[in-house]
Amino acid sequence: GDWFKDKWVGLNMLGLDSNTALRTVPNTASGLWVDNACIGDDGVSIAGCNWKIRNEEKVDWPGLYFGGVAFKYQAPVKHLFAISKAATTCMDVITTSGIATGVPPDIEKIKTMRSAIGDFPLAVASGITPENVEPYRDLADCFLVATGISHSHTELDPKRVEMMVNAMNK
C-alpha cells in the first residue's frame, strides 16, 4: 500500500529496452533507470522517440528518467562530447558507467561529459566505492551504487553504506 509513499523509489528495469520500460513504468515510481537509452554515434532518433513516448503517453508520470549513455556493454561511443550534448534532449538524467559492473568510469570520460552537458544532471552507475568517490563528487549529481557497498549481489553491507554516506558528505 502506502509504505513508501514518502520515499523516492526508482526502478531499474533490467532486460527491458527503453521503449518498453517507458511504456510500463508505474505512475507511482519516482524514477526509471534504463541502461541503454539508444543514444550512440548513429544518432538519437530512437531515444527521441522514447522521450516522445514518455512525454505524450506518460504525462502523468512525474518521475525522473535516467537514460544510459556510453554505458557498459554498449557499443563504444566515438563522439562522446556530441552524444552527451544530444542526450540532454532525451532524458532527465544522463547515466553512464565504466566498462563493466564494479569498474568505475575513467575520470576523463566524466569530465568530457560534464563539459558537454553543463549543469544538466549526470549520474555514474558503476564502480563507485567509499574509497574512490572523491574525484567524481563534484562532477556527477547522482551515484547509483550497489557492488561497491554490498556483501553480495543481494545484500548491502551496512558498514560500507555508512562509509559511502560519510564519503559523500566530506
CATH number of the domain residue 108 falls in:
3.20.20.70
Helix residue ranges, H only, 25-94: 45-57, 80-87
Is residue 79, in this structure, part of any structural domain at all? Answer: yes
Is residue 5, in this structure, part of any structural domain at all? Answer: no
Burial class (CB in 10 A: 0-12, 13-18, 19+), 3: exposed
- Return the pLDDT at 2: 60
DSSP characters for 77-91?
A: PS-HHHHHHHHTTT-
- Return the pLDDT at 128: 96
Low-confidence ranges of the chain (pLDDT < 50): none
Is residue 4, in this structure, part of any structural domain at all? Answer: no
- Return the pLDDT at 51: 65
Q: Is the pTM of this model over 0.95?
A: no
Is residue 37, in this structure, part of any structural domain at all? Answer: yes
Is residue 120, in this structure, part of any structural domain at all? Answer: yes
Total residue length of the chain:
170
Number of independent structural domains in the chain: 1
Is residue 76, in this structure, part of any structural domain at all? Answer: yes
Q: What is the dihedral of CA 42, 46, 49, 53, to 10 degrees?
A: -150
- Return the pLDDT at 139: 98
- Return the pLDDT at 163: 95
- Return the pLDDT at 53: 63
Q: Which residue has the cell 523516492?
A: 8
Is residue 14, in this structure, part of any structural domain at all? Answer: yes
What residue numbers bound the domain in which 134 lies?
10-168
Is residue 1, in this structure, part of any structural domain at all? Answer: no
